[in-house]
Chains A and B, each alone.
Chain A
């Protein structure tokens, strides 16, 4: 579904060039849950922008769904560390925002408003926000806003979900709760996910494959397959194979940071 062939990306800035990614090769299959971990500033967010077509590679090729990426891919939903809700819209209107933009929903929205609203309500129900649909974002906690942000990323049923440290600003309990929410959404809807995270337990709990990146200029130095059986209960977090995996990932990142 997603292929990066030997991709290099340099930002041209006032103070000269910064090479964020160098010779990155990555493969993510349809329906796969991929996690990307690596030291800060190694180009993870850059990788996300490349895959969604927000920026073009300096060298190399990015393919999504078998086609070259030459502009915004339009099949992706995104969520970031900040929920970025629009404060003048109610939660449900925030969630429905992508429908006002992506075709074919855009053309249908005014005619089939009730059906779409139902869909948004269902999604909010899955993340436990049904009762907050008509509230405003500032009436909600950070964790609740992040749930809404996930709904916004999924409302148009994208084939690809891009998450850039979506839970980084949350406390440990809320984070675990949202892991479960994301896990269940993924089981239900079967989209492809690329999750950038600094939390190795998060990566190990959720992902099928974990890609470890080197320090800047980043490239993938190691790809691990995670084969804990699914559906994974939270208890997996406290098993020995899990902690071993997290430990070895940690060592790997410490090593690439040194290099």
Chain B
């Protein structure tokens, strides 16, 4: 494998942004209370490494549990919803509606119900990933190409066969996209694992492009953010 210029751009851009940020802080004499420079952040990360790590760990496991629950229930509900076009069409607006509720708005209610602690955290993580997973799985199932469905049905395939051979496998990449947290790209192209082409699906809110690599980073980022809050 050769490293191309394209592979380096994310690194280059990230570095450039940090440099700009640092320069801006120095140049405009921004108070570290308003916006700490990256170097100050790094120094704090070294100084408070233990509480950061401890809190990150809590966030990591609560979000992981929430996410796994969302995967389990999301796939189950997604399969039910995607099974028939009628259910899909009926429930789709409802799911999109639920999904568009800002999850932050629900957090206080969860805290009222369950108190402060791990449960609201798990539930928040669950809520964030649940609806996108349902929508993605259901869409993947409900929108099998009519031609392909005909090919299989003419062979005597049952609905279950079509689900098993086409519907469910094709939700794989969606799942990784749906599992990612919080980036609402309104684009949807089911890609094979290496992301080099695939089936075309209609554009729909809440259905994301599946590129798991990027999204898998999120719990960590969130963890640091939360740990920072907890600390200070």
Interface, chain A (partner B; CB < 8 A) = 49, 52-54, 72-74, 76-80, 82, 84, 86-88, 97-98, 100-103, 136, 138, 152-153, 156, 162
Contacts and interface: CB of A to CB of B under 8 A. Distances in A.
B119 interface: no
Given A138-B197, A156-B155, A88 B192 contact: yes
Given A72-B153, A138-B192, A101 B165 contact: yes
A106 B187 CA distance: 37
B197 A72 contact: no
A87 B148 contact: no
Contact of B198 (A82, A87, A102): A87
Nearest to A52: B154
A80 B192 CA distance: 22
Contact of B152 (A73, A79, A87, A101): A101
B197 A84 contact: no
A80 B172 contact: no
Given A74-B156, A136-B192, A80 B198 contact: no
Given A54-B153, A136-B192, A156-B155, A82 B147 contact: yes
Interface of B: 145, 147-148, 150-157, 161, 165-166, 169-170, 172, 190-193, 196-199
Given A87-B198, A138-B198, A72 B156 contact: yes
Contacts of A54: 150, 153-154
A83 B170 CA distance: 17
A53 B169 CA distance: 27
17 contacts: A54-B153, A72-B153, A74-B154, A78-B151, A80-B150, A80-B151, A84-B145, A84-B148, A86-B148, A86-B165, A87-B190, A88-B169, A88-B192, A100-B161, A101-B152, A101-B156, A103-B156
